[in-house]
Amino acid sequence: MILPSHLLAFLASCAFFSLTLAAKWPNHVINELEHLLVDTDGFNDAGLQKAITPCTNYVSGSQLLGRETAAQWVRVAFHDFVTADVESGTGGIDASIGFETLRPENSGSAMNDSLGFFAPFVNAHVSMADMIALSVVMSVGTCSAPTIPIPLRGGRVDATQEGLFGVPEPETDIDTTLDQFSQAGFNQSDAIGLTVCGHTLGSVHHGGFPQVVPQSAVTPNNTGGGIHFDATPDVFDVDVLNEYLEWKGQRGGPLVTTDNITVRSDLRLYLSDNNATLHGLAESSSKFISTCVSLLTRMINTTPALVPLTDIIEPQDIKPVNISLSVDTTGRVLFSGYIRLLSTAFTSTDQVRITWTSRTGVSSSAFKTHANAVQTGNSIFGTTFYHFFNKSIDPTQGISAFKINILRGKSVEVSSNGGGGYPIDDVAVFLPHETIIGADGTLSVHAAVLTAAEAQNVTAVVSAPSPQLGTISPAIVKSVASFKKNGTRGLYTLYTATVPPVSNLHQTTLDLTANARGSYVYRDDFRRVVVSGTSSTENT
Ligand code: HEM
Ligand SMILES: *[C@@H]1O[C@H](CO)[C@@H](O)[C@H](O)[C@H]1NC(C)=O
Ligand SMILES: *[C@@H]1O[C@H](CO)[C@@H](O)[C@H](O)[C@H]1NC(C)=O
Ligand SMILES: *[C@@H]1O[C@H](CO)[C@@H](O)[C@H](O)[C@H]1NC(C)=O
Ligand SMILES: *[C@@H]1O[C@H](CO)[C@@H](O)[C@H](O)[C@H]1NC(C)=O
Ligand SMILES: *[C@@H]1O[C@H](CO)[C@@H](O)[C@H](O)[C@H]1NC(C)=O
Ligand SMILES: *[C@@H]1O[C@H](CO)[C@@H](O)[C@H](O)[C@H]1NC(C)=O
Ligand SMILES: *[C@@H]1O[C@H](CO)[C@@H](O)[C@H](O)[C@H]1NC(C)=O
Ligand SMILES: *[C@@H]1O[C@H](CO)[C@@H](O)[C@H](O)[C@H]1NC(C)=O
Ligand SMILES: *[C@@H]1O[C@H](CO)[C@@H](O)[C@H](O)[C@H]1NC(C)=O
């Protein structure tokens, strides 16, 4: 058994170590969005892409309505974006659209259909505004072959109230329309380009736009009365442009061809420079696509001033997933999680080994992940291979960081988070699997803190997605839970706190903090609870 004084020395070095590396990993915003983008099928599916697979799918109701979720997502982003005022630095992609669904300029079912689908994904690190941006990347990427990649950044912040008016409508005159785009930072050719890019997907519907699409469009298998913009409403391609310029097929769609001259907004826009922009885009399919990528990227990156976006989120070749420590009833410390490998860099037969560093910086020997527990998933970026591990750590030595080694034949690739390893804090450990839910929904949550750290207090910031008035999008409400001592387990002291009922258990997360002797602070951030049992005595 190690003497408490030794342990204190370990703790001091650990605190210093965590502080210097914590900024690099994990970046929760990037990791969460990367998960939603890359884990789209099979093991650990995040569940976003299924909504638009195939691209004709409508996830919010009957397939006979003639509606298409992928197209709705792109339209929602446009409506959120276009009321930006780039000069004063307000609006853009900020999810204010959620508060604006009753405005005539946001007519149609797309807004609440989409935000209602996104709402369960929103949490402390995934804003609704980032979901709106991601959904454009997802739609364009999924509804194209080869995949059209729009670079994604994260970090958008949700508005807490409605924003400016100013979405162009079918009846809006051309000068007003161009002014509205201009206020959002898009000049005439940008406006024409962005519109033709958007209108390669989806339809105009009698249900929502009876002044554009006549009742006759409504049929038993198209009850919403949708008329496509082009022959391939489920493919992001140049067809809409070619059909318009060659005056064939859908000839640009209902906003060009409708009998009602007042609502021919696409025709007015395209003719405003005598088709010059469109002729330029029609040079080649690749010119059309590269212009659309550039314009859509600008659209989703138009955010209120002072909202810094992350770096571009690239699919990670080697990704530690759900890494955690737990302390079992006998005081054993278990280090577990998955290492996800991507097929762009690795194969299914590559092996994964992990090494860790103790609190004093001593390296362990490498251990293998469970070779018979490799699970696979799929994405537009390739196949994912998930390697599971679950390893007991000597609590007297502890763990402060780990490294990943990938073995292919005789070559080894080391992933060490820039050298020092991926930091992990074994002083304050949240125990998600021990959460108990009371009859009234009250949660009893548990944590373990190394006794030698002499914690003065243990608290957790609880971030709970909560309903807000006027929008279907949740607000993240933060509260503080205070923990009380509740027995010991080996070298650890157990702590328990109660958390009032929450409306979305899966996306409610805790940031645990233990303030210890010597002003050291230990953390276990962004942990979800996993309910293990119910209690009926909790509600008194
Ligand atoms: C002058 C500018 C624009 C006007 C007046 C306009 C108007 C409309 C209208 C009336 C609809 C039919 C909606 C429905 O029936 O559900 C529609 C659909 C659509 N719009 Fe636009 N739009 C404009 C620009 C854009 C832009 C810039 C984008 C995206 C970059 C875009 C993306 C879409 C998409 C994807 C659809 C199909 C939605 C679906 O099938 O549910 N639009 N637009
Ligand atoms: C519009 O903006 C684009 C991109 O910012 C630029 O390339 C183009 O020259 C501009 N067009 C006009 C007519 O100002
Ligand atoms: C044409 O559209 C305008 C503007 O929405 C509307 O007021 C008018 O009733 C429409 N005309 C017909 C014949 O639908
Ligand atoms: C609706 O049914 C008709 C006749 O069977 C068919 O030609 C058409 O493609 C169908 N449309 C859709 C949207 O499924
Ligand atoms: C623009 O294109 C449309 C559709 O092909 C065509 O009807 C119109 O005559 C063209 N206008 C000019 C000025 O090129
Ligand atoms: C990771 O943790 C989350 C939250 O508890 C869970 O939903 C997800 O299934 C986990 N993924 C894996 C691969 O275990
Ligand atoms: C790790 O293994 C222990 C038994 O050795 C088990 O109790 C625990 O649930 C496992 N952890 C995970 C995440 O599977
Ligand atoms: C927790 O302990 C730290 C360090 O002793 C102290 O600064 C802080 O005020 C305490 N917080 C609470 C809520 O007691
Ligand atoms: C969208 O949902 C919000 C929040 O539930 C609601 O207030 C609003 O009326 C809905 N909008 C439409 C068009 O149904
Ligand atoms: C201590 O933890 C046990 C086991 O989870 C729990 O049943 C009990 O309610 C907790 N005690 C307090 C005071 O929170």
CB atoms within 10 A of CB 155: 19
Q: For residue 324, which atom of ligand 7 is closest to its CA?
A: 13
Give the single-character DSSP code of 149: P
Q: For residue 457, which atom of ligand 8 is closest to its CA?
A: 1
- Nearest CA, atom 2, ligand 10: 486
Ligand 1 pocket, residue 184 CB under 6 Å: no
- Nearest CA, atom 6, ligand 3: 211
**390 Cα to the center of ligand 7, angstroms:** 6
Query: Which listed ligand is nearest to 214 at the C-alpha?
Result: 3
Kind and range of the H or E element at 382? strand 382-393
Q: What angle do CA 32, 320, 463 make, to 5 degrees?
A: 35
- Nearest CA, atom 1, ligand 2: 187
Reported as a single tens digit per residue, the pLDDT across 159-192 is 999 999 999 999 999 999 999 999 999 999 999 9
pLDDT of residue 109: 87
pLDDT of residue 7: 52
The residue whose CB lies within 8 Å of the most ligand 6 atoms, and thus the one to mutate among 31, 32, 322, is 322
Rounded to whole angstroms, how far apart are CA atoms 436 and 443?
A: 6
One-letter identity of residue 485 = K
- Nearest CA, atom 2, ligand 9: 472
Q: What crossing angle do the helices spanning 285-300 and 128-142 adopt, rounded to 10°? A: 170
The CA dihedral of 240, 244, 249, 250, to the nearest 10 degrees, is 70
Domains of the chain: 28-300 (1.10.420.10), 315-423 (2.60.40.2440), 428-528 (2.60.40.10)
Rg value, the chain, Cα: 27
Rounded to whole angstroms, how far apart are CA atoms 398 and 360?
A: 9
Q: Which two tokens stand for residue 327?
A: 């302390």
Q: Could you read off the pLDDT tens digit of each residue along the chain, which spans 540 residues?
A: 343 454 545 554 444 444 343 346 899 999 999 999 999 999 999 999 999 999 999 999 999 999 999 999 999 999 999 999 999 999 999 999 999 999 999 998 899 999 999 999 999 999 999 999 999 999 999 999 999 999 999 999 999 999 999 999 999 999 999 999 999 999 999 999 999 999 999 999 999 999 999 999 999 999 999 999 999 999 999 999 999 999 999 999 999 999 999 999 999 999 999 999 999 999 999 999 999 999 999 999 999 999 999 999 999 999 999 999 999 999 999 999 999 999 999 999 999 999 999 999 999 999 999 987 789 999 989 999 999 999 999 999 999 999 999 998 889 999 999 999 999 999 999 999 999 999 999 999 999 999 999 999 999 999 999 999 999 999 999 999 999 999 999 999 999 999 999 999 999 999 999 999 999 999 999 999 998 878 755 333
Q: What is the DSSP string of 199-247?
A: TTS-EEETTT-TTTS-GGG-BTTBTT-EEESSS-TTS-STHHHHHHHTT
pLDDT of residue 20: 41
Q: For residue 66, which atom of ligand 4 is closest to its CA?
A: 13
Q: Which two tokens stand for residue 148?
A: 């059209």
Q: For residue 170, which atom of ligand 3 is closest to its CA?
A: 5
Reported as a single tens digit per residue, the pLDDT across 371-393 is 877 899 999 899 999 999 999 99
Ligand 3 pocket, residue 173 CB under 6 Å: no
Query: Which listed ligand is nearest to 443 at the C-alpha?
Result: 10
The residue whose CB lies within 8 Å of the most ligand 4 atoms, and thus the one to mutate among 221, 223, 232, 234, is 221
- Nearest CA, atom 25, ligand 1: 195
**79 Cα to the center of ligand 9, angstroms:** 15
The residue whose CB lies within 8 Å of the most ligand 7 atoms, and thus the one to mutate among 322, 323, 328, 334, is 334
Q: For residue 220, which atom of ligand 4 is closest to its CA?
A: 1
Kind and range of the H or E element at 317? none
pLDDT of residue 318: 97
One-letter identity of residue 521 = V
**352 Cα to the center of ligand 3, angstroms:** 65
Strand order of the β-sheet with 333-342 is 41-42, 375-379, 382-393, 333-342, 318-327
